[in-house]
Each structure stands twice: as structure tokens, then as C-alpha cells.
Amino acid sequence: MLKTLVVVFLRGGADGLTLVPPVGDDDYHRARPRLAVGAREAIALDGAFGLHPKLAPLERLYRDGVLAVVPACGSEDDTRSHFEAQDLIERGGTDVAGGWLGRWLRRGSASSGGALAAVAFGTALPESLRGAPGATVVRTFEGLGLGADAGRLARELARLYEDDPLLAESARDAEDALRRLASLRESDYRPEGGAVYGTDDFALALRRMAQLLKAGVGLEAACLDLPGWDTHFVQDTAMDPLMLRLGSGLAAFCADLGPRLAETGIVVMTEFGRRVYENASLGTDHGRGGVMFILGGGVRGGVHGRWPGLGESALEGPGDVAVAQNYRDVLAPVLSRHAGAFAPEKVFPGYALRPLAI
């Protein structure tokens, strides 16, 4: 049973064909004479697909069977606009109210409604959390406490609330949460499992997330962005460092969680994949199908889903990977492993789910 869902959003439209190259597909090498990842360079996954060498830190998780890779994923949005595609995928529909995580927390799960049940690590709340029963942006742990007089204030409040007929119990919960939050000091944190986090923002946010998870404040949904995937120009120079950050960050996070990984579901998604053909400036343009990663508890590792192929007739629109898997069908199995009840019709209204067996 999962307790926490972690959603990593790769903003900008990450190129699935580079993250998880279909090295066994000749059409891939023909379409990407300069950008294709060679079969020998890639880390072999299942023969047809490899993992980009810069994602090597994820190999261990794949071999351990806790990483599922789903190529050719996406939404029905074919505007190829970042804004529209992100909106649709994070809302979970076009004319729906709230985001899919927000609806899941409010209606579709047995949310505890704790003070920090839904957290976005970064500077703004993502659309996916819109409508959550309470959602908080956490930049750092400073400011999560009650300020300079925290200890004395909490003590006095405990006295004022102790026999309040309506609020005594809630006040004890609040005191407990604040005590846990007050103990969170980033400098004191010692990652476990030999985890080594980098010093980039993504790694630091994951480190903070692990710390918060372990603090037991009832974290149920945690969102984190890794931006910068809009690689129209000299794609390698942009993607290489991002993939390093993504791979090493997630590997450190999983190692750090240790046995808690079994209670955590991690989703890595993007708004769309990129054009199959490389452009003249060694980049790729906005496309359709991209890749999703699912990690953590209950996952059936491996490469999943239908691969539509990259032959001329299989491509969509101006030459894009067809969307063979709707992202909702990839998210659904993760949500259904969560301790709360999953009501698909509330989370993804108007969509007939065909969940993947992952």
C-alpha cells in the first residue's frame, strides 16, 4: 500500500526518444542521424529499448524491478503548445474543475487532510494540485515553524486549547505536526542508504522531500518540477546535464527512502515528447508521444505498453511518435495502489480507463 505519491514533471516536453531510445528500431537511427543514441552506448533494457547512458544511476532500480518505463505516452492534446498540453495533462481533462491530484486528494482518496498532505516543492503550486483540500508550496524548511518564539508560543497555545470542547484534539494534532516540522533542519539531515544528493535544485528538493516524508507529517502528494526540456537547439548540451540530474537525483532519493520506497509511488511525466526527425540545428521540435517512468512500491518493472513504431505510416501529424498510451492509464495503477480508495470517475471524469498492468 502506498502512502505518498511523488510527481516529477519534466517541463518543456522531454524527448522520450533520447531518455529511452528505441535502439532496436532502424527507423529511429534513420530519423536521427546525428542525435540517435547508439545501441552500444545505451544501457540495454529489453532489447528493443535502452536507457540513455546519462541515466545510468537508474539502471540499478530497473534491474531491481522497481522501475517501469512506458514509451509512447501522452494526452489527447494535439496543439503541441506547452501551455495547453501541460494544462490538459495536469487538469486531467479539458473542461474539468481542479487538477487530477487535487480531485484525487479531495474526493478520490481517503486523505487524512493533514497540514502538509499536499506539497509542491518549488515556487508555485502546479495546476495538478488545484482544488486540493489544502496545498502548500515549500521552498525551504525555514518558515515552516512558528517563528522566533515557536517553543513558548506552542506551549502557551497548548494550555489555552487543552480543554477546548471543539478544538482540543485538533490542537494536539497541530502541535504534533509543528513539533515535527520544527525538528526539520536541512543542515542536520543525514540521508540513509548511502544516498548522495547533488547540489542542484532538483537534488536539494528531493532531499527535502525525503526528509519531510520521513518526518511523518502525513505527506500524501508531493510535486516537483524539473524544467528545461524544450530542446529545439543543440539538444545534447541541454539534455545531458538534465538527465544526469534526473537520474542521480531519483537514484539518491530511492536509496535514501530505503524500505519506505515500498510505500511511495513516483511518477515522472512531461507534457509531450518531441518530433522524431531532428531539425537542422541539432534539436527537436514539439511532438506527441513521450516517455513516463513509474518507480516505487508495487511497481511491475520493465518496459510496458504498446510501441507504435517510427515507420512513416505510424507517425502522427508532422512526424511525431504516436500516443499509444494515455497518461491516465499509466497513472491509474499507481493511484489504485494507494491506501485510499481510488474513484477513477472523480479523478479522471469523462475518461474510460484502461489501466496498464504496471
- Stated as kind and residue range, the H or E segment containing 265 is strand 264-270
Shortest CB 134 distance to another protein, Å: 4
Among residues 176 and 236, whose Cβ is nearest to another protein?
176
DSSP state of 116: T
Report if residue 174 touches another protein, rule: CB under 8 A: yes
Report if residue 110 touches another protein, rule: CB under 8 A: no
Residue 221, φ and ψ in degrees, nearest 5: -140, 125
Shortest CB 69 distance to another protein, Å: 32
Report if residue 167 touches another protein, rule: CB under 8 A: yes
Report if residue 221 touches another protein, rule: CB under 8 A: no
Among residues 115 and 215, whose Cβ is nearest to another protein?
115
302: exposed, middle or buried (C-beta count within 10 Å: 0-12, 13-18, 19+)? middle
Residues contacting another protein: total by CB under 8 A: 48
Among residues 48 and 96, whose Cβ is nearest to another protein?
96
Q: Cα(197)–Cα(244) distance, rounded to whole angstroms?
A: 12
Q: Are 347 and 108 in contact (CB under 8 A)?
A: yes
Read off the C-alpha cell for 94.
Answer: 479539458
Among residues 136 and 279, whose Cβ is nearest to another protein?
136
Q: Are 4 and 257 in contact (CB under 8 A)?
A: no
Question: Of these, 29, 107, 232, 337, which contacts another protein (CB under 8 A)?
Answer: 107
Task: Give the number of other CB atoms < 10 A from CB of residue 15.
Answer: 32
Contact window for another protein (CB under 8 A) among 19-27, 163-171, 201-209, 317-325: 163-171
Task: Evaluate the CA torsion angle 154, 157, 163, 169 in order and state its sign.
Answer: negative
Among residues 40 and 159, whose Cβ is nearest to another protein?
159
Question: Of these, 159, 194, 199, 280, which contacts another protein (CB under 8 A)?
Answer: 159
Report if residue 186 touches another protein, rule: CB under 8 A: no
Site map (CB under 8 A) of another protein, residues 236-275, x = contact: ----------------------------------------
Among candidate residues 225, 185, 260, 205, the one with its CA nearest the CA of residue 4: 260
Q: Cα(226)–Cα(248) distance, rounded to whole angstroms?
A: 13
Among residues 3 and 260, whose Cβ is nearest to another protein?
3
Report if residue 303 touches another protein, rule: CB under 8 A: no
Site for another protein in 116-155 (CB under 8 A): 125, 127, 130-137, 143-144, 146-150, 152-153
- Stated as kind and residue range, the H or E segment containing 138 is strand 136-138
Among residues 35 and 85, whose Cβ is nearest to another protein?
85
Query: SS3 helix, strand, coil % of the chain, rounded to 5?
Result: 35, 15, 45
Among residues 165 and 259, whose Cβ is nearest to another protein?
165
SS (H, E, C) 45-102: CCCCCEECHHHHHHHHHHHCCCEEEEEEEECCCCCCCHHHHHHHHHHCCCCCCCCHHH
Q: Which residues bind another protein (CB under 8 A)?
A: 91, 94-99, 102-103, 106-107, 113-115, 125, 127, 130-137, 143-144, 146-150, 152-153, 156-157, 159-161, 164, 166-167, 169-171, 173-174, 177-178
